[in-house]
Amino acid sequence: MSVNDTTGHEDVDWATKASDTVVGYVGKVRDKTTGPALVASRYAVYALALALIAFVLLILILIALVRLLVTATSQLAFVDQGETWLAYYILGGIFLLAGMLLWRKKEQV
């Protein structure tokens, strides 16, 4: 709405202009704050889901490895069918060697 007043200037609807300005600034602030926060939270949720899936897969792989070792060691003459002690010793030795290797790498850094 514009009406010419006695000075020749247009009378602008100041309420509309002020609200448009406020809405514009609020939108800019929201885009600069909420946008990055939403992206960061989305990445955090995806990382957590991926970590949980990896943890479950690691457990399943370890279970499968124990079962495979129990089956393989049951073929030996000194291990009875279904005994798990040799499979546990083998896995324990593997983890011990891996831990010792990682410990040496830690000391070098």
C-alpha radius of gyration, the chain, whole number: 34
Segment-wise mean pLDDT, segments of 10 residues, the chain, 109 residues: 50 83 90 87 97 98 95 92 93 96 90
Dihedral angle sign, alpha carbons of residues 92, 65, 48, 42: positive
**SS3 label, residue 43:** helix
Residues in a beta bridge with 40: none
Helix axes 85-108, 14-73, angle to 10 degrees: 130
Given this model, what pLDDT does residue 31 score? 84
